Amino acid sequence: MVAAIQFFHGRRQMTTTRLDAGAYRAAERLLRDNRGNLVLGDKVSPRWIEGGARFWYVVDGAEGRRFVLVDPVAGSRGPAFDQEKVAAALAVASGREVDAAALPLGGVELSGDGVAFEAFGGRWRCRLDGSACEQVAGVAPVAPVEVASPDGRLVAFRRGHDVWVRSREDGREWALTADGDADHDYGASPDFFMYSTLLKKMGLPHAPPAVSWSPDSRRVLTHRTDQRGVRRAHLVESMPDDGGAPGLVTLRQPFPGDERLPLAAFVVLDVARGTVVAARAEPVEMPTISPIFMKWAWWAQDGSAVYFLDRSRDGRTLRLHRLDPVSGEVVSVLSESGESRVEPAQQLAQAPMVRVLPGGREVLWYSQRDGWGHLYLYDARSGELCGQVTSGSWAVQEILHVDEVARVVYFVASGLVVADPYRRSVCRAGLDGSGFERITDDDLDHVVIVADDKGYFIDSASTTAMPPSVTVRGWDGRVLVELERADVGRLMAAGWTAPERFRVKAADGHSDVYGVLYRPHGFDPGRSYPVVDHVYPFPAVNRVSPSFDAGWHGYDAEVVAALGFVVVAVDGRGTPGRGKAFHDASYGRLDEAGLGDHVAALEQLAAGRPWMDLGRVGIFGLSAGGFAAVRAMLDFPEVFKVGVAESGMHDLRYGDPGSAEAYHGPFDAQRYARASNVDLADRLAGRLLLVHGGLDTQVLPDLTLRLVDRLIAADKDFELLVVPRAEHVYVGFEYYVNRRKWDFLVRHLLGVEPPEGYRLSRVPIGAGDA
């Protein structure tokens, strides 16, 4: 919706057409921080009790917040306690007003006939029937930079460069290490992650320590981080919080091909005895994040051993090791090598699909050696292959549970739903390779949480267009309890319509690629709309989620659609989630960013949708998406006329070596030069807005400024927005960056002016942003 505004300039009457402010209001309602108020009952986060036999959760509904208790064995679901009576009892005991539909409770624990919680600066315990409520002494809460032991009695934390432990019962503290220094931090990831600008913004001095407690809470696995000789990078904090003089921010940030990377030498710390057992093995390279955070190191279920994975620098060999926590002896269990990257899972954020079975005699091992992604069983003592557990033209995505008695593994797989190869199903198979079965035999996408006692799982079933239904299921697939059906009434009232899931041919003419298309609000098929591609091509993750939850990247697309655009998102060749060949299409070709498939998709979609105007096509993205937005304008200027690139990785030669070398191959000057927008800056023909945070420690701001320098040298017009105190994703500055991005797209694609004077609300910064 647009409005014409007349004004006089000298003696001439001028007319300016502006977009109606209602479009910005609709887009703002859909922003990530607001959308949770529009979709109710779509997520269940269980809090296990009685070892997982039962659980409770909190859900926000149209009538307020509810606390729900579930007993899967009994097949029951009901109120965890009488909220009205507990609210009344708490009001009497505290002398404060309490709303039963919005109980101000934190740190909730259910046990016996009572509920304990934090409220009004104290710890309280009320009877479940609300007949009594009293303030009680409580243990110290776990801080965001602490890691609690399994029994809840202790927390591990960092002080200086060492790891310490504190008792939550009496507050006593003691050091587990004492020789840490600036180059040898215990429990530290590389600088950009450990000491990021975002953490500082949260009021946190650093990330939590990279530690893993033994199951009996007696020992701690961590590593001594060696960053000697690692390349240093420098940022300028132009406006410190105290308003004083600019300061220098220095961090260690290696580049692809650098000889020195951060190293992690594993150690096991005995909490009571104070002993330190160092792994008798070479440290593992740690270019990106601690292997403990990545779950590449873990304890055996009985605490008798530590297992860890490490990968060769070229990414083509993956190894599993066993560490004796008493002697420090390290034994290589098995390894796999390949012609390209060998991964323990398809996506970087996924936990490795490696399971050492109880007793340590067998290992379930994930591999793409047959062109897909399947499980194999190995003898852990000899390293010999016992057999292939799963097979077929589909891919295992997650191991859920191994029943060693029944000799069965339960897992999530994609590629079994004909309509959409990205949708996930829950399956089972015998460890001998027999008895494969789909437990969820519908065509929906399934996201699963396994109970602590492994007796059942919580299943959220949805599609990109169908809101989730959340149930408790047994391992035979039978629904034990129905929990929630998402309410999207408020979302639809905000103008949202379900995206269209599509399949088109890739640029090669025969590979299928999938994506989603968002129609503009108030869609009229008789009109013509500009098209925007929301891009994130990095091979570590998928851009498009197969579930109703669009994921971190996904919400930006539906937001921009609210402004009056057709928005398209594509998972082209080179992205994960399918076969090995499809994923490896990007290996050594990050410069291409799969953009040929995006162009092919736009052409095919528009052929049957005359309301898509391919004469007005824009593109936007963040990080790798920022790189791709610029690259699209440089490689396909006849298609992409307008672009917004946020936090762009514009020159891979100066990026993070962990992801660069894993997905683009070992450093080669010529190949890495191809993955540089800087060297092609003279090709720019369209309208471009570059955005970067001045304190971005993940993708350094000089990567955008290098591009700016070349654009100026080529005498190209562009717009540049540097947000001096912002980090990689602009937390605390979203209100400004989003508005500037929307204004740019509206002006140069819709061809109208943004609403006059419209300003987005600022989002408070909280611990949830970390």
Residue % of the chain over a pLDDT of 90? 84
Confidence of residue 573 (pLDDT cuts 50, 70, 90): very high
Q: What are phi and psi of 478, to 5 degrees?
A: -70, 135
- DSSP per-residue codes, 562-575: TTT-EEEEEE-TT-
pLDDT, position 2:
58
pLDDT, position 298:
97
pLDDT, position 349:
83
pLDDT in tens, 252-270: 999 999 999 999 999 999 9
DSSP annotation of 78 reads E
pLDDT, position 766:
60
Residues contacting residue 702 through CB under 8 Å, at least 6 positions apart = 654
Prediction pTM value: 0.94
State the Cα–Cα distance between residues 161 and 2, nearest whole angstrom.
58
State the Cα–Cα distance between residues 216 and 204, nearest whole angstrom.
29
pLDDT, position 1:
55
Confidence of residue 768 (pLDDT cuts 50, 70, 90): very low
Quickly tell me which residue has 């039978």 as its tokens: 478
DSSP annotation of 764 reads P
DSSP annotation of 77 reads E
The region of weakest confidence among 188-192, 326-330, 465-469 is 188-192
* Neighbouring C-alpha atoms within 13 Å toward the C-beta of 260: 12
Quickly tell me which residue has 């859909």 as its tokens: 30
Instruction: Give the SS3 label for residue 235.
Output: strand
- The two three-digit tokens of residue 3, written as one number: 């409005």
pLDDT, position 6:
42
State the Cα–Cα distance between residues 367 and 344, nearest whole angstrom.
7
The region of weakest confidence among 85-94, 111-120, 266-275 is 111-120
- DSSP per-residue codes, 547-615: SSS-HHHHHHHHHHHTTT-EEEEEE-TT-SSS-HHHHHTTTT-TTTTTHHHHHHHHHHHHHT-TTEEEE
pLDDT in tens, 591-629: 999 999 999 999 999 999 999 999 999 999 999 999 999
Contact 513, 570 (CB under 8 A): yes
State the Cα–Cα distance between residues 109 and 48, nearest whole angstrom.
10
Residues contacting residue 240 through CB under 8 Å, at least 6 positions apart = 246, 247
Q: Indicate the helix (H) or strand (E) that contains 629.
A: helix 624-635
Helix axes 595-607, 624-635, angle to 10 degrees: 70
- Between strands 719-723 and 687-693, the pairing is parallel
DSSP annotation of 283 reads P
- Helices assigned H by DSSP within 133-241: 191-194, 197-201
- The two three-digit tokens of residue 19, written as one number: 């977009």
Confidence of residue 555 (pLDDT cuts 50, 70, 90): confident
State the Cα–Cα distance between residues 219 and 209, nearest whole angstrom.
15
pLDDT, position 334:
96
617 vs 481, 515, 593, 639, CA distance in Å? 47, 17, 18, 6
Contact 707, 630 (CB under 8 A): yes
State the Cα–Cα distance between residues 286 and 293, nearest whole angstrom.
11
pLDDT, position 121:
84
pLDDT, position 129:
87
Name the residue type at position 82.
D
State the Cα–Cα distance between residues 477 and 479, nearest whole angstrom.
6
State the Cα–Cα distance between residues 134 and 376, nearest whole angstrom.
55
Quickly tell me which residue has 């003898």 as its tokens: 379
Residue % of the chain over a pLDDT of 70? 97
Q: What are phi and psi of 143, to 5 degrees?
A: -80, 160
* Order of strands across the sheet that contains 408-414: 395-403, 408-414, 424-430, 437-438
Number of other CB atoms surrounding residue 549 within 10 Å? 21
Q: What are phi and psi of 257, to 5 degrees?
A: 90, -10
- The two three-digit tokens of residue 566, written as one number: 């057709």
pLDDT, position 733:
95
In this predicted structure, the answer to whether residue 478 has a pLDDT above a threshold of 80 is yes
Name the residue type at position 750.
L
Q: Indicate the helix (H) or strand (E) that contains 523.
A: none
pLDDT, position 556:
92
State the Cα–Cα distance between residues 174 and 220, nearest whole angstrom.
14
pLDDT in tens, 665-709: 999 999 999 999 999 999 999 999 999 999 999 999 999 999 999
Torsional sign, CA 534, 540, 546, 548: negative
Please, what is the average pLDDT of the chain? 93
* Order of strands across the sheet that contains 114-119: 106-111, 114-119, 122-127, 133-136
DSSP annotation of 259 reads S
Torsional sign, CA 720, 722, 723, 728: positive
pLDDT, position 103:
86
- Between strands 232-237 and 212-213, the pairing is unpaired
State the Cα–Cα distance between residues 715 and 596, nearest whole angstrom.
28
